[in-house]
Amino acid sequence: MVAVVWGLIALTLRPILFILTLPINFMTLGLFTFVLNALLFWFVAGLIPGFSVAGFIPALEGSSYSR
């Protein structure tokens, strides 16, 4: 279930947020993409009962494996 929701979020919401944060992403030479992925991963964890992420750093680590 988590993979389905993560896929839908990555397909719909991520491109929109990527375009909106393009100036920040440009200034950080693309590193803000990791932050954006971690925030979306953390958001998915909040949507799915039974799936939790302990904080931002674990979300950052978890999102880096899901690319």
Contact 18, 25 (CB under 8 A): yes
Residue 55: predicted pLDDT: 93
Residue 56: predicted pLDDT: 93
Q: Domain map of the chain by residue range?
A: 2-11+21-65
First to last CA, the chain: 17
Distance from C-alpha of 14 to C-alpha of 3, rounded to nearest angstrom: 15
Q: Is 29 left (phi over 0), alpha (psi -120 to 50) or beta?
A: left
Q: How far is CA 66 from the centre of its chain?
A: 9
Contact 44, 9 (CB under 8 A): yes
pLDDT in tens, 13-23: 999 999 999 99
Low-confidence ranges of the chain (pLDDT < 50): none
